[in-house]
């Protein structure tokens, strides 16, 4: 069973009792604060500036060979990171309330979804792990990517001088995924360890959201907020 919990502006977040997914996230994020307090003798807050301390803590586990420890910290760091994204951008959680790796963040200001726990695994490993790495969790392979729409947009390209014939279907243009990947490829390369850090992931997400907002504006489209139903409709049709 999948449950969801929206950001603070959503009605579900106003309920007196958090959803199972939200309760799991809150417990895991609190656990990370306790772990860092014990290990670094520093109390992290809820703001993005704490990412540097979290990345430092995760780097201390690079050589950790006990899978349960890696799994716990990845779950805790992923929950904290997802909560940061939810607060900073507006997003909602989905999951079953039991398995941390099934937790997923769905952004509201842009169609972007991802697994924060799998991103935390890759932050610990400083990149994708070898498939034979015994610290990898059971089940599906790690999915540390930001997922955007891959279907071509049904709209005329911004600035196009072509006038479609009357009754002709809209001209397909690049999907948001392909367009953003091209824009990201034009940016200066980032060292791999920096990219896979949670700081690097956060900065990349900031850039993706900015790029998508700029594209929509150039196309003359109004800002859109995406909700669970939008994601379900898009993913079931793709």
- pLDDT, residue 152, reads 83
pLDDT of 236 reads 84
Assign 3-class secondary structure to 81-129.
HHHHHHHHHCEEEEECCCCHHHCEEEECCCCCEECHHHHHHHHHHCCCC
Give the pLDDT of residue 22.
Answer: 95
Beta strands in the chain (DSSP E): 3-5, 91-95, 104-107, 113-114, 153-154, 172-173
Quote the pLDDT of residue 235: 85
| Residue 165: predicted pLDDT | 55
Identify the three-state secondary structure at position 153.
strand
In tens digits, the chain (238 residues) has pLDDT values of: 567 765 544 444 444 688 999 999 999 999 999 999 999 999 999 999 999 999 999 999 999 999 999 999 999 999 999 999 999 999 999 999 999 999 999 999 999 999 999 999 999 999 999 999 999 999 999 999 999 999 887 554 444 434 455 665 555 679 999 999 999 999 999 899 999 999 999 999 999 999 999 999 999 999 999 999 999 998 887 6
pLDDT at position 1: 53
Q: What are the sequence ranges of the domains in the chain?
A: 3-148+220-237
Task: Kindly report each contact of residues 210-217 with a partner whose C-beta sits within 8 Å and lies 24 or more positions away, as own/partner.
Answer: 211/179, 211/180, 211/183, 211/184, 212/110, 212/111, 212/112, 212/148, 212/176, 212/180, 213/109, 213/110, 215/158, 215/176, 215/179
pLDDT at 163: 47
Alpha carbons within 13 A on the beta-carbon side of 212: 24
> Residue 123 CB: number of other CB atoms within 10 A?
29
pTM for the full model?
A: 0.87
């Amino acid at each position: 069973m999948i449950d969801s919990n929206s950001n603070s502006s959503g009605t579900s977040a106003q309920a007196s009792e958090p959803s199972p997914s939200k309760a799991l996230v809150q417990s895991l994020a609190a656990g990370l604060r306790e772990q860092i307090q014990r290990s670094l003798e520093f109390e992290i807050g809820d703001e993005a500036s704490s990412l540097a301390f979290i990345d430092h803590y995760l780097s201390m586990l690079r050589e950790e060979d006990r899978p349960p420890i890696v799994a716990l910290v990845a779950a805790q760091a992923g929950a904290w990171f997802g909560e940061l994204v939810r607060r900073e951008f507006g997003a909602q959680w989905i999951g079953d309330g039991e398995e941390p790796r099934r937790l997923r963040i769905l952004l509201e200001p842009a169609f972007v979804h991802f697994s924060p726990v799998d991103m935390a695994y890759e932050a610990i490993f400083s990149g994708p792990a070898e498939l034979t790495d015994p610290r990898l969790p059971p089940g599906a392979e790690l999915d540390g990517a930001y997922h955007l729409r891959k279907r071509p947009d049904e709209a005329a390209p911004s600035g196009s001088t072509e006038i479609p014939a009357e009754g002709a279907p809209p001209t397909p243009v690049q999907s948001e995924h392909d367009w953003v990947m091209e824009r990201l490829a034009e940016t200066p390369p980032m060292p791999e360890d920096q990219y896979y850090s949670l700081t690097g992931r956060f900065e990349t997400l900031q850039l993706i959201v900015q790029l998508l907002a700029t594209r929509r504006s150039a196309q003359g489209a109004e800002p859109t907020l995406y909700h669970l139903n939008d994601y379900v409709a898009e993913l079931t049709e793709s």
